[in-house]
Chain A
Amino acid sequence: MDIAHKDSPSLLRRLTPGDALFTLALIGGALFALRQYGGFMDIYDKAILLLTVPALAALGVTWKPFRLFLAVSAGLAVCSMTLYGGDLARAEQVFFLKYLISSQTAIMWMSALFFIATGAYLLGLAARSNFAEATGTALTWCAVTMGTTGLFVRWYESYLIGTDVGHIPISNLYEVFVLFSLITGLLYLYYEGIYATRRMGAFVLTVISAAVAFLLWYTFSREAHEIQPLIPALQSYWMKVHVPANFIGYGAFALAAMIGVADLLVRHGILVSRLPAAKVLEDVMYKAIAIGFAFFTIATILGALWAAEAWGTYWQWDPKETWAFIVWLNYATWLHIRLTKGLRGALLSWWAVIGLLVTAFAFVGVNMFLSGLHSYGSL
């Protein structure tokens, strides 16, 4: 057996026909989008679109289930757009739009599916039922698929309202809460696959459910789901890279915190037989914080570049910026302690849990309690 090749095979060797098909579909999709919607993009938007292709292709190659997920989400979004046929009013007339794949409906499905998935994982944990946990996984996949479809369709709908209104749906608190739920869900599914254990689902899905609960409250009592046009400061291609990078960070930190909770339980002898070993949990927590920190660093820098263009200064200690800096410091310290001091154990888990509070304040609290330049989507 030649393990060396299995150990570090060349990229080409790992490619399956499915990967090739996926990459071709991505290229096709990007070219179609350029041809169809290129008129709404400036040169930077086009560059970002083209760079998305290799990024998603790499993700699909390293994480195979992602390919099917993206294909189904995109397929549903295309169905929805076809059913709309350029007329917003059809959301009320066409059955499949009204009850399945218009943006709001899809997001409602996402919310419901996340709730049921949480229930399934909790049931699996309580009853030691592999079937319930497998159901949880399937439902989580369905939830992220519906949510992604919802965001794609919302993007399209915004242009139907008016070409001057149209924009990528990651511009206010409502939209980024959907994004947060999606990214946290996807990150969780990734680690679930890598570590081949579904036992962490009950914890991670709980934090997603909390986000979804907030989303529903925000929709029903504040009517926050209405698509709003962009104020001048937000009209920039930078949003397309700054916001997603930020939410990979937030999502990963949230995931790490919930794994930290599980780790603390295990360390205190609770649910030991039902949860993965502390060693596994610790490893997932580290991986999540590492990826979160790397992307949060990128996001903060991208934010600074954007701020330099929009507000004339790359850093002005605006409350959101300052809290982003505090979050960054927090996880920088966490990594220093773990990597350099080689410390392990309950302290790091506690730190990750408290880190979520700091992150949550930077994410939502700043908008609620402090005023500043980032005050879009107040409560």
Chain B
Amino acid sequence: MRPRSTSRALYELLSSMRFAISLLTVLGIASIIGTVVKQNEPYNNYLSQFGPFWFPVFEKLGLYSVYNSFWFLTILGFLVLSTSACIVRQTRPMLKDMRGFREHAQETSLASFAHHARIPLLLPRAEARDALLAYLQRAGFAVRCNERDKSVLLAAKQGSLTRVGYFLAHGAIVLICIGGLLDGNLPLKLRMALGGKQVTTGNQLISDIGPESRLGLDNWSFRGNVFIPEGKSANTAVVNVQDGILLQDLPFTVSLRKFHLEHYESGMPKRFASDIVLTDPATGQSIEKTIEVNKPFEFAGVMMYQASFEDGGSRMRMLAHDLRPGRGTSAKPLEAAVGDSLKLNSQGLDHSLELGSFRAFNIENMANDAAEPEGGTLTRLEKHLGSGARSPTRKDMQNVGPSIQFKLRDSAGQAREYQNFMQPILQDGAWYMLTGMRDSPSAPFRFMRIPMDGDGRPDSWFEIRSVLLDTSRHAELARRFTATALPASAASDVRGRLEETTRRTLELFALGGFDGLGKFIESTIPAGERDKAADVFIKILEGCAWEAWSLARSAAGAPAPTPSPAHARLLRDTLNATNDSLHYGAPVYIQLTGFDEVRATVLQVTRSPGKPIVYLGSLLLVLGVFAMLYIRERRLFILLKDSGEALVALGSNRKSMDVDERFEQHRDAIAALLTPPSRP
């Protein structure tokens, strides 16, 4: 058939099944793209991922926000169009079909049904008709009789509601798409284009942002975040748009009383909740409410959700221990809030401390990962029987206390990142202060373990280290060590040689740590004797550390240390940590001594006018799908002919096996009805 015009042809195409199926397929494939490329990340991430050439290409293609891109919305638009056209096209024939009984069907057309049978009619027509009418009604059919010249047609139907299912399901798709469109960022884009709104950057005070980047109370569709520290309040939300932000005024003020953060024993988060107070500026009335995950709250037409939490400017008290050799031990108190940048420019330092984050507790697995004895298959199976609670690999989750993470930036702008724990942590049977360092944010932290002395303080380490690394004191240390190591009767040249070796060892260690010593050994000592030499050097270092400790203690007016296994361990740990400190990359060790934690909550606030439409659409979709799949439309025709024959035909909108069965049942039942009971 030739289409009458272009628009007619277009309509035919849009409403065709082939077009709909192609559209569904294209939509499916298009959706995959957005799951492969991470969506709505900061633009810098994409730039580093794709490089400067592809970054703008992909940006033009909308790959960073596929589901809001022009082309994706176009496909969805076509889906709406196609579905609507399909509905329009089907409405008239379907309604006609639903209402009609087709009681004027001719015998020839009935005889062409896939399911039809001819049965002998042995009863008078009227009697047979009444019996069949009763039968059909019992079986749940609506019936219409068409009396003809020499015959009567009983046209029966059931399950016409399946056609309603069609309208419900397809109308639902249109509703859901429209609702979704209202809640997407299209209204925002329109507002920006028509209302002259511009995005601005996030690095400025909210009060500095002008009206061109503010959305008013009349905005009926938005999604933003509100950041509120404990004890503070807010009445604007931040809306993220591409690589900038807009501000959305809220019709109320929301203040945070307290943020609750609870954890399970395993360290998994258990509960995030915000105790908030909402104040209506018009009436001055306020209500208190707790919002938590899965328990949102609506106020003045705005839905509020617990989205996340951050630090709200917790204040940290710290000590900056000077680590530079030759400067003795000194610690300078510091105080800063999380997020602050602090200048460390006293005593010849030129660094800045950027306090990044604070954690009030850290739950770590402290179990000794001793290898479990491998059993046979049966033993392994046995271990996995029983309750689901048992843990075959023993875990020992412990809270190891607060920590801070910060960056130290030198005058050249180079920064390293550190993570310092406030409390000592038990490892391998001894207590240490842990401090981690990394050069780049993607690298894992490498930890230096500062040993705790008998008083449970790190002070001894600072003291010993400061003497060991101070070149001006090496001669004194060497002399003292030699005096202790050699008997008084030793010859003076032996004494001189040992003193010289000791001084040299200290010098090498202060310069390059164990590595420096190792290189020295490799370059000067034959391969066979290196192990022995290394032992000697270690003994010398340990002896010197001991002397350094005695010196430090006598300077502080404390009694000299006495030899004991615990002290020997302390000295070994001290040497290790001193060695590590040479690669620590910072002139100071920042010790966290106290804090006042302030948390902040991030609430998501939305106005989504499309939500009721989408929900209605969803309900209709479910009803429609079930009606279409599970209500079976059937038409049963029985033509009773005066010639003593009945023609039974069954039509169905679905071809499936149960139609065959059902036809046979009806045919047999009808045949029985049409046969007089008196017949032998």
Contacts and interface: CB of A to CB of B under 8 A. Distances in A.
Interface string B374-388: 000000110011111
Interface in A280-312: 280, 283, 286, 290, 293-294, 297-298, 301, 304-305, 308-312
Most buried by A among B223, B393, B656: B656
B665 interface: yes
A108 B384 contact: yes
B292 A309 contact: no
B598 interface: no
Contact of A105 (B268, B386, B665): B386
B303 A340 contact: no
A333 B272 CA distance: 42
Interface stretch (B196-204, B435-443, B622-630): B622-630
A1 B672 CA distance: 8
A313 B28 CA distance: 21
A353 B672 CA distance: 45
A154 B389 CA distance: 9
Contact of B67 (A231, A317, A335, A337): A317
A329 B27 contact: yes
Interface in A101-153: 102-105, 108
Interface stretch (A15-23, A68-76, A155-163): A155-163
B384 A232 contact: no
B665 A3 contact: yes
Given A225-B384, A232-B293, A7 B665 contact: yes
Interface residues of B, number: 75
A339 interface: yes
A91 interface: yes
Contacts of A283: 656-657
A129 to B, nearest CB: 26
Interface in B200-259: 223
A315 interface: yes
Contacts of B183: 313
Given A91-B390, A92-B386, A337-B21, A229 B270 contact: yes
B386 A326 contact: no
Given A97-B386, A98-B385, A220-B380, A333 B24 contact: yes
A31 interface: no
A235 to B, nearest CB: 6
A228 interface: yes
Given A4-B139, A342-B655, A103 B388 contact: yes
Given A104-B387, A283-B656, A326-B32, A312 B296 contact: yes
A233 interface: yes
Most buried by B among A294, A310, A317: A317
A268 interface: no
Contact of A308 (B140, B306, B611): B611
B668 interface: yes
Given A164-B264, A297-B621, A310-B305, 12 more contacts: A157-B389, A161-B389, A226-B389, A286-B656, A290-B629, A294-B625, A294-B629, A304-B618, A305-B618, A312-B296, A314-B611, A333-B25
14 contacts: A91-B389, A108-B385, A219-B384, A223-B391, A226-B391, A228-B268, A233-B294, A279-B657, A297-B621, A297-B625, A312-B305, A336-B21, A340-B17, A366-B35
Interface of A: 1, 3-8, 88, 91-92, 97-99, 102-105, 108, 154, 157-158, 160-161, 164-165, 169, 219-220, 223, 225-229, 231-233, 235-236, 279-280, 283, 286, 290, 293-294, 297-298, 301, 304-305, 308-315, 317, 319, 322-323, 325-326, 329-330, 332-333, 335-337, 339-342, 366, 370-371
